[in-house]
Amino acid sequence: MIIVGVETEQNQRYFTESMAELSKLTNTASGEVVFTLTQKRPQVDRQTIIGKGKLQELIQQADAHEADLIIFNHEMPPRQSQLVSEAVGIPIIDRVQLILDIFAMRARSKEGKLQVELAQLEYLLPRLAGQGKSLSRLGGGIGTRGPGETKLETDRRHIRNKILGVKRELKAVEAHRARNRQKRQSSEIFQIGLIGYTNAGKSTILNLLTQADTYSKDQLFATLDPLTKKWRFAEGFEITVTDTVGFIQDLPTQLIDAFHSTLEESQSMDLLLHVVDASSPDRILQEQTVLQLMAELKMEEMPVLTVYNKADQIEPALFTPSLFPNVLISAQSADGKEKLVQAIKQQLLELMVPYTLFVPSQDGQTLSALRRQTLVLKEHFVEEKNGYEVKGFAKSTSKWLNS
């Protein structure tokens, strides 16, 4: 496969990182990059992205390397894609289609599969005209997962009907998710959400805290479906931790729209853990990408603890954090969990409200409930009253604050 990118005045600041990421995305989709073609222009060519001279070079390189697919690092309108494909004689896909393809590979739950299918169908709908022959030659592999070849070759009406059907199914699943979310909120459970750039180590941290045994691998988009697990502190306090899909530079708008309900999981959290790969050379850019997407999703006012992960791959003394509050850990090391738990606990004390309650010694049920539903810091037996004075912290909405 050949990957192609044009460095323009708009993208020059992050062009190199973006091309390296495209190569990683191709590998994640089980493709092999045999050649990288780049070009500098004030702006992309309106017809072919890369202009006539570079197009000839692309034709030669595709022939020399016997490439079976070309991936552009830009979202391509249908006409551009068609012109380049006809000139080179092999299928063309863009960055968006590649990301959608990876999502199709990763989706496990019914909702995840429906969301990916919706995003793919909405992306392909305007690209149906004149694409049938070119796309049908793909046969299998990158760019052909998801809706499938037969759907691509049907008429627009059928695709639109299919989109409506998927949206209806999604609505039902979303309603179920919303009910679960409401249930969690009304039960006063403190909720933590994991967010961050793809491959920063969110799933590893979920496993570290909850023993969830979630799929975690050094791959882009290893996690797609949101997963909520219960985590119990040593003191007995129970909270939930939710892992979500990783963000990425230029995350396709089709995916943001389609994964609206999934991203809503993060919007209802009490605390967000923004997981950052401290060893990444593109760390600052990745942080900015996540913060920008959080702003788009109206999440910028939410409490956030930045977890700088992969400390084992850097020199901690030379590391300068850029987001606060933060903690630097290695999810793979022995003391990583302890440092993370202490940092989370510190955030909880700032977000929650202190209380003092007296519980009669015969009321073991209330004592047990307090340990589960609040962060108990001190239990003192008062002999003359024959009961316990309990001091701790609870959510501001907690019933214990009115007891």
Report the 3 state secondary structure along 309-370: ECHHHCCHHHCCCCCCCEEECCCCCCCHHHHHHHHHHHHHHHHCEEEEEEEECCCHHHHHHH
244 is an annotated ligand-binding site residue: yes
Q: 245 labelled as ligand-binding? A: yes
Is 110 annotated as ligand-binding?
no
| 223 assigned binding-site residue | yes
Q: What pairing do the DSSP bridges indicate for beta strands 375-382 and 387-394? A: antiparallel
Q: 236 a known binding residue?
A: no
Listed in sequence order, the residues at least 6 apart from 17 whose beta carbon sits closer than 8 Å to its beta carbon are 249, 281, 282, 285
Is residue 312 a known part of a binding site?
yes
The answer to whether the annotation marks 331 as part of a ligand binding site is yes
- Asked whether residue 309 is marked as a ligand-binding residue, the answer is yes
Any known ligand binding at 221?
yes
Residue 64 CB contacts under 8 Å (≥ 6 apart), including other chains = none
337 in a labelled binding site:
no
User: What distance in Å separates the CA atoms of residue 390 and residue 380, rounded to the nearest whole number?
Assistant: 6
| CA–CA–CA angle 346, 358, 390 (5° rounding) | 25
183 is in an annotated binding site: no
332 is known to lie in a ligand binding site: yes
Separation of alpha carbons 338 and 333, rounded Å: 10
Q: Where are the beta strands (DSSP E) in 197-297?
A: 227-232, 238-243, 271-277
Is residue 363 part of an annotated ligand binding site?
Answer: no
Is 311 annotated as belonging to a binding site?
yes
How many Å apart are CA 188 and CA 399, to the nearest integer? 8
Q: Is 197 annotated as a binding residue?
A: yes
Check whether 222 is labelled as a binding-site residue.
yes
- Kindly calculate the radius of gyration of the chain based on its CA atoms and give it in whole angstroms: 25
**Is 246 labelled a binding residue?**
yes
Query: Side-chain half-sphere of 243: how many Cα atoms within 13 Å?
Result: 27
* Cα(167)–Cα(119) distance, integer angstroms: 11
Q: Is 225 annotated as a binding residue?
A: yes
Q: DSSP labels for 8-62?
A: -TTTTTTHHHHHHHHHHHHHHTT----EEEEEE-SS-BTTTBSHHHHHHHHHHHH
Q: How many residues does the chain have?
A: 403
Residue 228 marked ligand-binding: no
Is 330 annotated for ligand binding?
Answer: yes
180 annotated among ligand-binding-site residues = no
- Nearest alpha-carbon partner for 141 in 22, 30, 36, 4: 30
* 155/375 Cα distance (integer angstroms): 58
Among residues 36, 34, 37, 50, the alpha carbon closest in space to that of 1 is found at 34
Q: Is 154 annotated as a binding residue?
A: no
Give the residue ranges of the annotated binding site for Mg(2+). 203, 223
Give the residue ranges of the annotated binding site for GTP. 196-203, 221-225, 243-246, 309-312, 330-332
Give the residue ranges of the annotated binding site. 196-203, 221-225, 243-246, 309-312, 330-332
